[in-house]
Amino acid sequence: MKLRWGTGNKKRPLEGTGPVGSVLFYLFGVKKEEEVQKMGDIRIGNQKRLLISITLLIPFILLFSGPVRSGTAEYFRGLDYLIISMVQSLHNETFTTVVLAVTFLGGIPALTGVVALGAVVFLYYKRWITALFYAGAVALGGGLNALLKWLFQRDRPDFNPLVIEQGFSFPSGHAMGATITYGLLAYFVVIHLQEKGAKATVISVAVTLILLIGLSRIYLGVHYFTDIIAGFLAGALWIMISVFVWKRITKGSTAGV
């Protein structure tokens, strides 16, 4: 004879756990097995995010320390000039034309255009919250970059520059802005894609473009290598903060997202 558990609004045991397992789950207030799996996934996800954050923070703090800011640290200064000389050894007229086109994609006009286009596309698909958040996150990221430049006030390198840039050097505005703009755009696109191949393609294109923009700044002689790395790190951290806030404000919501 089979025992029938209560029906209606009463709690039912979890399939495959037996009466003992059901009692334990009831004692801890868990109603469904899926909730247990979700809780485990959340813990694993939080651990991964914490590990990534620490991984980014260590070099971020190191690069943003006083010695690097003042440019007096021998180990960083030697690395900066070594990489600049290596990259600039590739100088030729044709290549410079290509590099100028690449670096343009990390400038304020191009990034503003990307944000505007992205927002329009999101609005077209009735994702107005995504559109507003994306534009706001990128704008605040730009403000953060300006603040960091003002705080550290590192002079630009004077090492055979091909173009003249104004303002301070550390962290690179192109590297940080490109990371935030293209990185967040890739994130919002990827979360709505189903195919893994499409997701990988979007991420690969974004990462490649960001890296090329960073390298272009060294080639042109307007940034140190550490400026670029700091820009990448600051941008990546800002993306993590933005995604964290995004998930909190859109939790349980589907309209406009």
Q: Choose the catalytic residue: 149, 154, 156, 174.
A: 174
At 104-123, the pLDDT tens digits run 999 999 999 999 999 999 99
Residue 89 domain boundaries: 75-249
Chain position carrying tokens 């009831």: 26
Is residue 24 in a domain? no
Total number of domains in the chain: 1
pLDDT-derived band of residue 34, with 50, 70 and 90 as boundaries? very low
Is residue 171 in a domain? yes
pLDDT-derived band of residue 39, with 50, 70 and 90 as boundaries? very low
174: annotated active-site residue: yes
Distance CA 247, CA 95 (A): 42
DSSP 147-186: HHHHHH-PPPP-SS-SS---S--SS-HHHHHHHHHHHHHH
pTM of the model: 0.72
Is residue 69 in a domain? no
pLDDT-derived band of residue 252, with 50, 70 and 90 as boundaries? low
φ, ψ dihedrals at 5, nearest 5°: -80, 165
Rounded percentage of the chain residues whose pLDDT exceeds 70: 67
Which domain CATH number covers 219?
1.20.144
Q: Choose the catalytic residue: 223, 228, 231, 237.
A: 223
Is residue 185 in a domain? yes
**Is the predicted pLDDT of residue 139 greater than 70, yes or no?**
yes
Chain position carrying tokens 């006009």: 109
Instruction: Give helix then strand counts, H and E, for the chain.
Output: 10, 0
At 165-216, the pLDDT tens digits run 888 888 889 999 999 999 999 999 998 888 888 889 999 999 999 999 999 9
- Tell me which residue of 106, 67, 124 sits closest to 214, measured CA to CA: 106
Distance CA 132, CA 114 (A): 14
Quick count: other Cβ atoms within 10 Å of Cβ 193?
13
Q: Given this model, what pLDDT does residue 18 score? A: 43
Is residue 57 in a domain? no
91: annotated active-site residue: no
Is residue 22 in a domain? no
Give Rg (Cα) of the chain.
Answer: 24
Is residue 30 in a domain? no
Is residue 231 in a domain? yes
**Maximum mean pLDDT: which of 69-83, 174-188, 236-250:** 174-188
